[in-house]
Amino acid sequence: MAYLFPVRPAVVSVSGLILTGLICLAHPPVAVGADPVQHSLFAGSLIQPDDKDGDILRRFEVQLFSANQSHFFHVMDDTRHGCPWPDSFGRTGPTIGLESVQPHLVYDYNDHAYLIALPPLVVALPENIEPEATWEQAEWHMTAIEQSSLNSIPAWIVEARERRGRQQTLTVDAANGITLRAEADVFMGQGDQFKLTLARSSRVPLEPATSDKLAALQNELVTLQTTLKRRPDAHLSELSARQIADVAAVSDRLKSLAAGTPLEVLVRHIKLDLDQQQKRLTSIANRATKLLNSEPPPFALSLLDGGKLESETLKGRTVILHFWDYRDTPLSEPYGQTGYLEYLFNQKKHMNVTVVGVSTNPDLQSRENFSRGRRSARKLAEFMNLSYPVGHDDGTLLTAFGDPRETRGQLPLWIVLTADGKVAHYHAGYYEIDAAQGLKELETVLADLLKAK
């Protein structure tokens, strides 16, 4: 995962990753019965410059709902490859901290998932503003350039810079601070430069009844977002079983509140995604049921240090097989979970528990790219100080257990084998991390197995 500029906390260390929470406490609920909501719609583009007008890589829209100095956004990014719905909405504005989800895109460039923060939708213009006035907003240093107008709306041209050199040019409504137009520099890859543009296309007041429904809906959505506890660097749409249950519990209420409002499109997307995620969960559960208490076929792995690991040598031990790509670049989640897995390995190995990492990096199955794949896995193992063995085969072992990606799931895949070599646990995707207990669900599985010995 790579950040262009913070859209959540600017923290990327494994130990320092902060889960989003307390949003509702930090940003009080919008009062139902408040002033009518002003609905602004923005159109934007992510552009790769060329000799002409540039190549548009992504088009998107943003909704902004403003009332009583409170602002709520919804980013309508690419539904398949863009910002997942749980991270596409939230409170925004000059007083909202970076610990909250803020408007951003998700764009994949050269196998890296980039979180691209949008320019501020609302700017806190100083009182008695004059040209060359300066102030700070979030991590941006703002400078008023000159008075202007856009579509007969009095405005200020504002330049924004941050300490790493990125800059934005904003045209801001002089009356309310809402951005009318913006252009921002974006860098991805090895310093490749792109341009992001944003322009307000409409602004209309909503009917009082619609405003009341929206206020209640926004409160429900922010509460749900807090309950989900998504990672600060989340860029995939996959939800855990607990998160899916949390969404299902409020789905009907969201649908009722959203009916006839501009956020109905968001709630329809939530319901569609919920249906797909429930099907994925059912498919994984069915696969797990078939595998439980079965014996996998014998296997042999080529280890990163050049040795071999054969399944026969694991007999008599409780084994955790962890299927993941084990690449050092792009260094994206769930790489941090290997750190928790290493900790678990060191805590449990005296109980005859072992961990085996199985790299699914396609490079390791290619004669031309084999050296690159092994080098990448070694770098990751060194970076994470992994002492458990990591190996690979030709993909046969993953196929035998069932690749979750074939049923809309995601790696990693976690398999726990009993001491007599039978499958005791099958889990596809991330584990939710408990700050105090790490891989709590996996710890519970192991505890039950060891207790039953």
Domains in the chain with CATH codes = 2-278 (no CATH), 293-452 (3.40.30.10)
Strands 318-324, 413-417: parallel, antiparallel or unpaired by DSSP? antiparallel
Edge-to-edge strands of the sheet including 2-3? 2-3, 112-117, 104-109
My answer on whether omega of the bond before 330 falls inside 30° of 0, hence cis, is: yes
* pLDDT of the residue at 276: 94
Tokens of 312: 């026969």
| Cα gap 301→311, rounded to integer Å | 8
CB 86 within 8 A of CB 95: no
At 375, which helix (H) or strand (E)?
A: helix 370-383
**427-450 confidence digits (pLDDT tens):** 998 888 776 677 888 999 999 998
Side-chain-facing half-sphere of 199: CA atoms under 13 Å: 7
Which residues, given as ranges, of the chain have pLDDT below 70?
1-34, 435-436, 453
Residue 103: CB atoms within 10 Å: 27
Res 44: pLDDT: 98
Q: In whole angstroms, what is the distance from residue 245 CA to residue 424 CA? A: 24
* Cα 40-45-48 angle, rounded to 5 deg: 160
Q: Give me the DSSP letters along 298-353.
A: P-EEEETTS-EEEGGGGTTSEEEEEEE---SSS--TTHHHHHHHHHHHHHHGGGTE
Distance CA 10, CA 143 (A): 23
**pLDDT for 13:** 32
What's the rounded Cα separation, in Å, for the pair 62 and 103? 8
Please answer whether residues 36 and 207 qualify as being in contact, where contact means their C-beta atoms are separated by less than 8 angstroms: yes
